[in-house]
Amino acid sequence: MNAPAVSPRHRVFQVLENPNRADRLSWAVEIGLIVLILASVTAVALETVPELFARFHTEFRLFDLLITLAFTVEYIARVWAAPEDKPDKPAWLARLHYMRSPMAIIDLVAILPFYLALFMPLDLQLLRVLRLLRIYKLARYSPALTVLMSVIREEAATLLAAFSILTILLIFAAAGAYWVEHAAQPEAFGSVPAAMWWSMVTLTTVGYGDVTPITPMGRVFGGAITILGVGMAALPAGIIASGMADHLHRRRDRLREEFRCALEDGHIDLGEGRKIERLRRELGISREIAHGIHQDVRRKQFQRLQCTCPQCGHEFQHKGDDE
């Protein structure tokens, strides 16, 4: 062990919850868990192929047993080490708090079905699908995913509004198609809910082609709906684009603010440098861009600070310009 002074519980916490590249063990555990998750999901998917299931029945069960054991150990270790994150709370409270976090619930869902199936008869299909959810355990390992998810969360209200416009258009398209086509195609357009299938497939530009308008009026109406579909697809793309750009600027501005504070006294000392570096990695900003921000802040700060009068030699603070 390369950190003998820390307690075992702190070490487990470091390895599982606070991994960094320099720590070999923590890195190995991270890679190992990612491989286990992928292997587990692949096995569950392959299990649904009837031929494979018939032939490798025992192997699939054994593999699932091993993986469930590994994930159980992981879950217990995480719960046990949780108090390290909140040293000021009682241990049981910190653990309870951790157990209610989304990632911990996903971890529990990944193992619970196995144990439940020991005590009561569970549908095999349900078990399989629940085991597929293990893929969500991967969410822990990608910082860019976190950024993307937070953009989606921030834009949720606007995306929901786009979705409600889509819903209104879906109903409108289905009603229109039902109106013009239900005489010609009583099967596919016989009711508004039936026509909904066509309107969903068309407005999302998926276009299976299993159901299409065949009357001239239906094709004129259907053509207009395909064009609206292009417009509909543009809404979420526009919302995400604007949200991504805004999120990016705000992350940069936070780093810029940090540089500004640190440069108040004219230079960045060691502590400030470390703090900035940590923030930079947390925000997922590249080293080059951070350097550019540093230069920019420095230049502006410098201009604001230094000025010498060539006539009387008086030094004063010239507040020249600010972004």
Write down the least CB distance from residue 262 to a second copy, Å: 15
CB neighbours of residue 75 within 10 Å: 17
> What is the per-residue DSSP string for 73-101?
HHHHHHHHHGGGG-TTS-HHHHHHHHHTS
Nearest residue to 32 (alpha-carbon basis) of 16, 44, 47: 16
Among 7, 18, 150, 308, interactor with a second copy by CB under 8 A: 308
Among 63, 190, 215, 283, interactor with a second copy by CB under 8 A: 190
72 part of the interface to a second copy, by CB under 8 A? no
3-state secondary structure of 222: helix
Among 192, 268, 279, 283, interactor with a second copy by CB under 8 A: 192
Cα dihedral 253→262→302→320 (10° resolution) = 50
Using the contact rule CB under 8 A, the part of the chain among 3-11, 113-121, 150-158, 269-277 near a second copy is 150-158
Nearer to a second copy, 239 or 262 (CB): 239
231 part of the interface to a second copy, by CB under 8 A? yes
Instruction: Give the footprint of a second copy on residues 242-301 (CB under 8 A).
Output: 242-246, 248, 250, 253, 257, 284, 286, 289, 292, 295, 299-300
Give Cβ neighbours of residue 20 (< 8 Å, ≥ 6 apart).
26
Write down the least CB distance from residue 28 to a second copy, Å: 22
Using the contact rule CB under 8 A, the part of the chain among 12-20, 108-116, 171-179, 266-274 near a second copy is 171-179
Give the ranges where 204-286 is alpha helix by DSSP (H).
216-262, 270-283
